[in-house]
A and B are shown apart, each in its own frame.
Chain A
Amino acid sequence: MSRLRPSSTGHRPDGTLPLINIVLLLVLAFMMAGTITEPLPAGFDPLRADAEALPPALSEPLLVFVDAQGQILVSGQAQSETEIEQKLQALKQSAGRVEVRADAAAPAGRIFFLLTAAEKAALSDLKIVTLGRTR
Chain B
Amino acid sequence: MLLRRPQPKLVLSLTPLIDVVFILLIFFMLVSQFSDWHEISFSTPTEAGPGDGVTMVPRLTLFKNGTYDIDGTVFTDRSRALAHAREVISGPSIQLSVEENVDIQHVVNTVEDLTRAGLADVRLHALPEGEAE
Contacts and interface: CB of A to CB of B under 8 A. Distances in A.
Given A14-B14, A24-B21, A30-B29, A51 B102 contact: no
A11 B99 CA distance: 75
Interface of B: 9, 11, 14, 17-18, 21-22, 24-25, 28-29, 31-42, 44-45, 98-108, 112, 124, 126, 129
A105 B106 CA distance: 8
Given A49-B40, A132-B38, A34 B28 contact: yes
Contacts of A131: 35-38
A31 B18 CA distance: 18
Interface stretch (A35-43, A71-79, A81-89): A35-43
Interface string A118-131: 11000000011111
Nearest to A129: B37
Interface in A15-71: 16-17, 19-20, 23-24, 26-27, 30-31, 33-37, 39, 46-55, 66
A107 interface: yes
B100 to A, nearest CB: 3
Nearest to A109: B100
A108 B33 contact: no
Contacts of B102: 107-108
Best-surrounded residue of B24, B33, B41, B104 (most CB of chain A within 10 A): B104
Contacts of B11: 11
Interface residues of A, number: 50
A30 to B, nearest CB: 4
20 contacts: A17-B14, A23-B22, A27-B25, A30-B28, A33-B32, A33-B34, A34-B31, A34-B32, A34-B33, A35-B32, A35-B34, A36-B31, A47-B105, A48-B108, A49-B40, A108-B106, A110-B104, A111-B104, A128-B39, A130-B37
Given A35-B33, A108-B107, 10 more contacts: A20-B17, A31-B28, A48-B108, A50-B112, A107-B101, A108-B98, A108-B99, A116-B45, A127-B39, A132-B36
Nearest to A24: B21
A27 B28 contact: yes
A43 to B, nearest CB: 15
Given A30-B25, A48-B105, A102-B104, A53 B32 contact: no
Given A20-B14, A119-B44, A128-B42, A54 B37 contact: yes
B25 A51 contact: no
